[in-house]
């Protein structure tokens, strides 16, 4: 049930639909694909300009050049600007932080139209980054604009961070801001796509491994003189398929239900595979990636120990099994308890606006939530768009979902932080 003020805010958000579409279209038209990661300064300036009309303190925080990746052609450091802003409330009030990433994945695949020239058809706005996750960034700003237009003064503080480097798991976005104490909040909402009527109170953990088996080259006409590293990798795959894969969700499974996805780990082999140098040479090395997603109850260390045990067993049974491993990325499962005021307030706000009991689960993928969670900030993931559309050709977001998300953001802020009646 909405009170009179909350209904006014929701109506105000609805009245901004044309502005939603215009701002989101302009944001999508700035190509922020990573790689290579260009046009970030243009995007950051665009966002900062819009925030300056809403917030008291707006800043663009640059990462030191020595920490940045370099352009593959020019060799110069690529800019990684982070946009932060704050609307201050009472000194002793609570603080709610809104986070989103403006980098997107490259627009691969067969698109029906230019992915950076957004179009609206049948209530859907098409363009790269529409769902993942520029729509949420615009919804966050429009939620605050609606509060401002209705002269709502919150007792607590709202802050924003719009960042790069999420898609490539880099260190120059949310990770950097949290490490530099640029985010001070009691609660955080990360705007990854959850669908407008659902939210995630956490996400799975992850271990990305790169395994290399080593062999000995020889002419293909006399393979017995060499040691085939590719064959050794097949042995590893067979062990994983026998000992690990049956207990997890994997590619051969029929699409599981939501609860199964949340409660069960996954594994995917061979996202990237390289081997050999020539068709007529016994391959002296083979490298394969392993993507292992962790469910609640699993830990990074246990997963690493499990792989180490399998590799050690293979080496013991085969003296020629030579290998090395490299951990490319690792992070634990993140969960904000259902009893958290953030979870209950967001859930109640969703129900008030949609009339439906919202779904709550763990996000199967990882995101920047883990950085805020590690800093002790209770965090949830909520944003417009279908997660299944992320990284797809003809990516789109339903305009009505963007409006609903903005209404939920505004209502959650009002209920969580409180509204001042002393001015």
Tens-digit pLDDT profile for the chain (423 aa)? 899 999 999 999 999 999 999 999 999 999 999 988 889 999 999 999 999 999 989 999 998 877 676 666 566 778 899 999 999 998 899 999 999 999 999 999 999 999 999 999 999 999 999 999 999 999 999 999 999 999 999 999 999 999 999 998 878 999 999 999 999 999 999 999 999 999 999 999 999 999 999 999 999 999 999 999 999 999 999 999 999 999 897 666 667 776 677 788 999 999 999 999 999 999 999 999 999 999 999 999 999 999 999 999 999 999 999 999 999 999 999 999 999 999 999 999 999 999 999 999 999 999 999 999 999 999 999 999 999 999 999 999 999 999 999 999 999 999 999 999 865
Angle 7-13-387 from CA coordinates, rounded to 5°: 110
* Helix%, strand%, coil% for the chain, nearest 5: 35, 25, 40
Q: List the structure tokens of 142.
A: 């429009």
For 181, other C-beta atoms within 10 Å of its C-beta total 8
Contact 187, 345 (CB under 8 A): no
pLDDT of residue 168: 86
412: domain CATH number is 3.40.630.10
Q: What residue spans of 183-257 are helical by DSSP H? A: 229-243
Residues 34 and 114 in one domain: yes
Rounded Cα–Cα distance for residues 25 and 116 (Å) = 9
Q: List the structure tokens of 369.
A: 């939530």
240: domain CATH number is 3.30.70.360
Residues 377 and 241 in one domain: no
pLDDT of residue 315: 97
Of 284, 300, 331, the position where a domain reaches its end is 331
pLDDT of residue 259: 64
Q: List the structure tokens of 171.
A: 């260190």
Eight-state DSSP code of residue 91: T
Contact 342, 416 (CB under 8 A): yes
Note the pTM of the prediction, 2 decimals.
0.93
Rounded Cα–Cα distance for residues 212 and 215 (Å) = 10
How many domains does the chain divide into?
Answer: 2
Q: List the structure tokens of 343.
A: 């979870």
Residues 93 and 24 in one domain: yes
Residues 228 and 155 in one domain: no
* Reduced 3-state DSSP string for 316-350: HHCCCCEEEEEEEEEECCEECCCCCHHHHHHHHHH
Contact 365, 387 (CB under 8 A): yes
Q: What is the dihedral of CA 384, 106, 39, 70, to 10 degrees?
A: 130
Residues 321 and 228 in one domain: yes
Structural domain harbouring 378: 4-203+333-417
CB under 8 Å to 7, separation ≥6 — which residues? none
Residues 30 and 71 in one domain: yes
Element (H, E) at 289: strand 285-294
pLDDT of residue 56: 86
């Amino acid at each position: 049930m909405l009170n009179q003020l909350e209904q006014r805010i929701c109506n105000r958000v609805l009245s901004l639909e044309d502005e939603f579409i215009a701002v989101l279209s302009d944001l999508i038209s700035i190509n922020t694909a990573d790689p290579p990661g260009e046009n970030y300064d243009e995007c950051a300036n665009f966002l900062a300009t819009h925030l300056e009309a809403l917030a008291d303190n707006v800043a663009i925080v640059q990462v030191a050049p020595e920490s940045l990746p370099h352009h593959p052609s020019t060799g110069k450091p690529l800019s990684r600007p982070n946009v932060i802003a704050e609307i201050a409330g009472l000194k002793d009030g609570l603080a709610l932080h809104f986070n989103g990433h403006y980098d997107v994945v490259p627009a691969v695949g067969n698109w029906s139209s230019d992915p950076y020239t957004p179009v609206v058809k049948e209530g859907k706005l098409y363009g790269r980054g529409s769902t993942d996750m520029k729509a949420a960034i615009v919804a966050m700003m429009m939620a605050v604009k609606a509060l401002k237009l209705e002269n709502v003064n919150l007792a607590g503080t709202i802050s924003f961070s719009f960042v790069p480097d999420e898609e490539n798991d880099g260190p120059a976005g949310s990770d950097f801001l949290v490490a530099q104490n640029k985010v001070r909040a009691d609660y955080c909402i990360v705007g990854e796509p959850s669908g407008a009527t659902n939210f995630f109170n956490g996400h799975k953990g992850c271990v990305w491994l790169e395994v290399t088996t080593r062999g000995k080259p020889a002419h293909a006409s006399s393979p017995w003189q060499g040691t085939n590293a590719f064959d050794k990798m097949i042995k590893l795959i067979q062990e994983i398929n026998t000992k690990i894969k049956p207990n997890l969700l994997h590619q051969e499974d029929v699409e599981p239900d939501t609860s199964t996805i949340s409660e069960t780990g996954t594994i995917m082999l061979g996202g990237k595979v390289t081997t050999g140098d020539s068709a007529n040479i016994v391959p002296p090395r083979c490298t394969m990636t392993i993507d292992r997603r962790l469910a609640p109850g699993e830990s990074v260390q246990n997963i690493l120990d499990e792989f180490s045990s399998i590799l050690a067993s293979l080496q013991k049974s085969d003296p020629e099994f030579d290998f090395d491993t490299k951990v490319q990325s690792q992070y634990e499962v993140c969960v904000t308890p259902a009893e958290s005021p953030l979870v209950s307030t967001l859930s109640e706000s969703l129900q008030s606006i949609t009339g439906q009991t919202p779904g709550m689960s763990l996000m199967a993928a990882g995101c920047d939530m883990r950085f805020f969670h590690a800093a002790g900030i209770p965090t949830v993931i909520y944003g417009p768009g279908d997660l299944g559309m992320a990284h797809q050709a003809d990516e789109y977001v339903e305009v009505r979902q963007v409006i609903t998300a903005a209404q939920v953001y505004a209502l959650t802020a009002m209920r969580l932080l409180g509204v001042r009646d002393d001015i």
